[in-house]
Structure 1
Amino acid sequence: MSNAVHVLSAGSLRYAFPAIIGAFGQETGIAVSLMLGPAGLLREKIEAGARFDLFASANMAHPQRLAAGGLTEDAICFARNRLCVLARADLGLTSENFLAVLSDPATRIGTSTPGDDPGGDYAFEVFDRIEARYSGRGEAIKSRARQLVGGRNSPPTPPGKGAGYLITDGEVDLMMSYYSNARLLKQDPSFSVVEIPSEFQPVVEYGMAIRKDADVETRHLRNFLLSARGQKILSEAGFSPAG
């Protein structure tokens, strides 16, 4: 696929991009190659010279940094998400007892890796918001949180294991998760998907940027992601509109 549009995308878009690529190809006849990974590590690859045409990040900071460095055109917000908690069902976690359960030293908390993966940054922002309102509690939660996925040294998901395996394998009681991922386990009786109280909820914006001097095919893909059809596909995958 040497003539394809090369996309480096945040891993949390893994359930959205296949449908986007299919619909885009049907509409335009343009092929797309896709590499998924933690957005912070993908940004590092781009800074080190990796080939790409479009970068889709789970935050705005990484594409904005590339734009500031002259590697891309300006970053554009193309979707929104939200953070939630994926917990083992018998933990009894609710939005109402969220703070009490996370503050319990016996509760084992898992997150993605800050810096490497925006999911970890957002999780730690939740803890910082707790700290701002309840001095000492947010820092205590943060100190107990285990950074288990999304990092440069994180082990890959074992073959045959689905999302939530760290909970079902007994590693943690809950994982801080994007809603777009956690929603897929809503019908599984082993799990509960719990909303984070609004006062602790970070703003989760997804940004994209295309390389400097991008070709017309890449510009078509960027425009497709912002189009009504592209936004509908993202919505069906659990994201919120960019606007």
Structure 2
Amino acid sequence: MLKAIFIKFQNFKFNVFIIILLVVSGCKQPKRNVIRIAAAANMQYAIEEISNAFTEKTGVSCELVVSSSGKLTAQIIEGAPYDIFVSANMKYPNEIYKNELALEAPKVYAYGQLVLWSMYQEMEPSLEMLTNDTIVHIAIANPKTAPYGQAAIELLKKSNVYDLVEEKLVYGESISQTNQFITSKSSEIGFTAMSVVLSAKMKDKGGWILLNKKEYTPIEQGAVIIKRENQDSTNSRKFYKFLFSKEAREILEDFGYLVAE
């Protein structure tokens, strides 16, 4: 009799344990095998290669959203469901961190380089030629939201050219739109990222020159992991670590970025 009662009690405890285990398991969010990466427009081509290499290595898929760093920051603050923010500067990732929307402080993953680019084959790009009457429109990314636009304005001012060409400037929403102005020839010339002209899609199109990086504040490009409620951050952390790996650094260098050893 006592043995039967004991067995029933043991079975009861086992059933309770199973029920608790199922409830706890049900409360956990399943690990997502895809991460959403918000990337600055200058990183459009490089981030594609990096994310493809990451997926091949880990099996984790990457969804890319490309826009200006300023716009992406506003979206993140408003609650956009991104896991990683790959910015064109450190200002915006730091803003995310100060708003307590990041898992940890951002880090610089690369330094961008500014170029002057034209689709007109007969044209040899130079800062001096921007004042010529043959140049009617100069494409530039919006300096209010795009770090490469800020760098271009700074360079023009330091070179004492800004006041002479201010009325010629045509502002793109991001580097992507600025590139459209240049490639469509709606602007005779424009400022863009070196990573764009070195991409497979744009390589050997038009002519460009690398601008003196001493004439503008270093473009420190930072990345940060976004804090997501009730989401497993394992894959986000894996990508963040991969972004600073030797393999990713080599890809960044191929696109003209300067990276720290």
| Aligned-residue RMSD, C-alpha | 2.5
Distance apart, 1:149 and its partner CA: 4.1
State TM-score, norm by structure 2: 0.76
From 113, 116, 128, the equivalent of 2:157 is 128
The range that moved more, 80-89 or 1-10, is 1-10
Q: What is the CA deviation profile of residues 156-189 of structure 1, one whole-angstrom value per residue up to 9, with x for unaligned ones?
A: 96xxxxx95534544211010101102344523x
State percent identity of aligned pairs: 22
Do the aligned partners of residues 28 and 148 (structure 1) sit closer, same or farther apart at CA in structure 2, a change above 3 Å counting? closer
Which residue of the partner structure matches residue 209 of structure 1? 224
Which residue of the partner structure matches residue 8 of structure 2? none
* Residue 239 of structure 2 corresponds to residue 221 of structure 1: yes
Do the aligned partners of residues 7 and 186 (structure 1) sit closer, same or farther apart at CA in structure 2, a change above 3 Å counting? closer
**1: CA distance, partners of 2:129 / 2:43:** 29
Structure 1 contact 82–202 (Cα < 8 Å) conserved: no
State TM-score, norm by structure 1: 0.81
Structure 1 contact 16–234 (Cα < 8 Å) conserved: yes
* Residue 177 of structure 2 corresponds to residue 148 of structure 1: no
Greater helix percent: which structure?
A: 2
Distance apart, 1:199 and its partner CA: 4.2
Distance apart, 1:201 and its partner CA: 4.1
Do the aligned partners of residues 165 and 14 (structure 1) sit closer, same or farther apart at CA in structure 2, a change above 3 Å counting? closer
From 143, 147, 154, the equivalent of 1:114 is 143
Q: Which has the larger radius of gyration?
A: 2
Structure 1 contact 111–146 (Cα < 8 Å) conserved: yes
Structure 1: any 5+ residue segments left out of the alignment? Answer: 158-162
Distance apart, 1:32 and its partner CA: 2.0
**2: CA distance, partners of 1:187 / 1:52:** 34
**1: CA distance, partners of 2:46 / 2:213:** 26
Aligned pairs for 1:71-220 (under 5 A) are 71-72=101-102, 73-87=104-118, 88-93=120-125, 98-107=126-135, 108-130=137-159, 134=160, 137-150=161-174, 165-167=180-182, 169-184=184-199, 185-188=202-205, 191-212=206-227, 215-220=233-238
**1: CA distance, partners of 2:184 / 2:60:** 42
Distance apart, 1:26 and its partner CA: 2.4
Q: What is the CA deviation profile of residues 28-86 of structure 1, one whole-angstrom value per residue up to 9, with x for unaligned ones?
A: 22222221111110110001111111100011111011111211121111112200100
2:146 maps to amino acid: D
Distance apart, 1:106 and its partner CA: 4.3
Structure 2: any 5+ residue segments left out of the alignment? Answer: 1-30
**1: CA distance, partners of 2:183 / 2:246:** 38
Instruction: Tell me: higher relative CO, structure 1 or 2? Use CA pairs within 8 A at least 6 residues apart.
Output: 1
Do the aligned partners of residues 169 and 217 (structure 1) sit closer, same or farther apart at CA in structure 2, a change above 3 Å counting? closer
Distance apart, 1:2 and its partner CA: 5.3
The range that moved more, 208-217 or 39-48, is 208-217
How many correspondences in the alignment? Answer: 223
Distance apart, 1:240 and its partner CA: 2.2
Aligned pairs for 1:42-53 (under 5 A) are 42-53=72-83
Distance apart, 1:196 and its partner CA: 1.6
Structure 1 contact 186–193 (Cα < 8 Å) conserved: no
**1: CA distance, partners of 2:127 / 2:59:** 50
* 3-state SS of paired residue (2:76): helix
1:44 maps to amino acid: A
Which residue of the partner structure matches residue 38 of structure 2? 8
